[in-house]
């Protein structure tokens, strides 16, 4: 149902973004993928997406800390494929430390990648969507857009920011056939989560098993990680015409975490 539509998914060389790119491509969308990684692996992914959608997939190396590179990626996409119909603001990093030990450069990088990049993406893409009278803007927020955990001050601030940005741009685009939503997963088993285990072990003096069961899944009543494929299926649904009334929403997918 996405044949003829072009999607940009930021941070799609790994984890949730990669799963969303695959789900969109499987429905025929032209894909622009983005993120860091090893050249051969990215090329394999790009070729796989082109096979899935039976058409075009391009890799764009835009760094989400660089507003000029973000705008250039959107304009390149519009020039090459004729439109920018779907954007998924998904690139994100994490750092875990108490505020007094939190490196300033890490705070700045998390705000830039997890929040400001979404604003720059929207700023560049909305004019293209308004011109076509159709658009889907999605962001991967987090349960941390609704609740906090200690030692994640930058991440929690950025994700709360995504929720507010989502509401604002939804209001600005509501009469243009554009919807703007964020999905807020609980813990999804991806490299981002795997990488924060050593930091949490160190900062709280715990074993790997204790971090997984007593810290990560402690907040998730289902006691199961969300999967990237579940998030992707939800993102795909939000691109459907049946979902056009859903806008400005922060949609939880967290195994009950924020119900508690
Ligand atoms: P991941 O580490 O697997 O993927 C992150 C992606 O972002 C990678 O493709 C990486 O290359 C890219 N990226 C990082 N810095 C970048 C930069 N400067 N420019 C361009 N790309 C950059 O992580 P993930 O778990 O798949 O996370 C994806 C999103 O989902 C993030 O926004 C994250 O906060 C959010 N999220 C993750 C979880 C979870 O439990 N994994 C839960 C809730 C929300």
pLDDT digits (tens, 9 = 90+) for 42-79: 999 999 999 999 989 999 999 999 999 999 999 999 99
CA neighbor of 165 nearest in space, from 107, 237, 116, 234: 116
- Of 92, 185, 220, best ligand 1 pocket probe by most atoms within 8 Å of the beta carbon: 92
Q: Number of C-alpha atoms within 13 angstroms, CB side, residue 39? A: 0
| H helix and E strand count, the chain | 9, 7
Domains and CATH numbers, the chain: 6-186+227-259 (3.40.50.720)
Is the pLDDT at 107 greater than 80? The verdict is yes
Q: What percent of the chain has pLDDT over 90?
A: 93
By CB atoms closer than 10 A (0-12, 13-18, 19+), residue 109 is middle
pLDDT value of residue 75: 98
Is the pLDDT at 191 greater than 90? The verdict is no
Is the pLDDT at 131 greater than 90? The verdict is yes
Residue 193: band (very low, low, confident or very high) from pLDDT cuts 50, 70, 90? confident
pLDDT value of residue 192: 77
Is the pLDDT at 99 greater than 90? The verdict is yes
The Å distance, Cα 89 to ligand 1 centre, comes to 10
The Å distance, Cα 12 to ligand 1 centre, comes to 8
Residue 195: band (very low, low, confident or very high) from pLDDT cuts 50, 70, 90? confident
The Å distance, Cα 175 to ligand 1 centre, comes to 31
Task: Report which protein residue has its CA nearest ligand 1's atom 20.
Answer: 35
pLDDT value of residue 215: 87
Q: What is the mean pLDDT of the chain?
A: 97
Q: What percent of the chain has pLDDT over 70?
A: 100
pLDDT value of residue 55: 84
CB 128 within 8 A of CB 6: no
Catalytic residue set = 155
pLDDT value of residue 58: 98
Interface ipTM = 0.99
């Amino acid at each position: 149902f996405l044949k003829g539509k072009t999607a940009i998914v930021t941070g799609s060389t790994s984890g949730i973004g990669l799963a969303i790119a695959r789900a969109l491509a499987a429905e025929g969308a032209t894909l622009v993928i983005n993120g860091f990684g090893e050249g051969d692996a990215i090329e394999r992914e790009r070729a796989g997406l082109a096979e899935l959608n039976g058409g075009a997939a391009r890799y764009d190396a835009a760094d989400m800390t660089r507003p000029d590179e973000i705008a250039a990626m959107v304009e390149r996409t519009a020039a090459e494929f004729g439109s920018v119909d779907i954007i998924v603001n998904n690139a994100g990093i994490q750092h875990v430390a108490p505020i007094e030990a939190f490196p300033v450069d890490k705070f700045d990088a998390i705000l830039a990648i997890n929040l400001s990049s979404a604003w720059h993406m929207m700023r560049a893409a909305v004019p293209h969507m308004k011109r076509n009278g159709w658009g889907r803007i999605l962001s991967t927020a987090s349960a941390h857009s609704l609740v906090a955990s200690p030692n994640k001050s930058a991440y929690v601030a950025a994700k709360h920011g995504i929720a507010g940005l989502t509401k604002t741009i939804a209001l600005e685009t509501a009469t243009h056939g554009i919807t703007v939503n964020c999905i807020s997963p609980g813990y999804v088993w991806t490299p981002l989560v795997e990488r924060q285990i050593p930091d949490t072990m160190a900062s709280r003096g715990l074993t790997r098993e204790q971090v997984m069961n007593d810290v990560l899944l402690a907040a998730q009543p289902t006691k199961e990680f969300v999967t990237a494929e579940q998030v992707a299926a939800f993102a795909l649904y939000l691109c459907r015409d049946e979902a056009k009334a859903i806008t400005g929403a922060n949609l939880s997918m967290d195994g009950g975490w924020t119900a508690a």
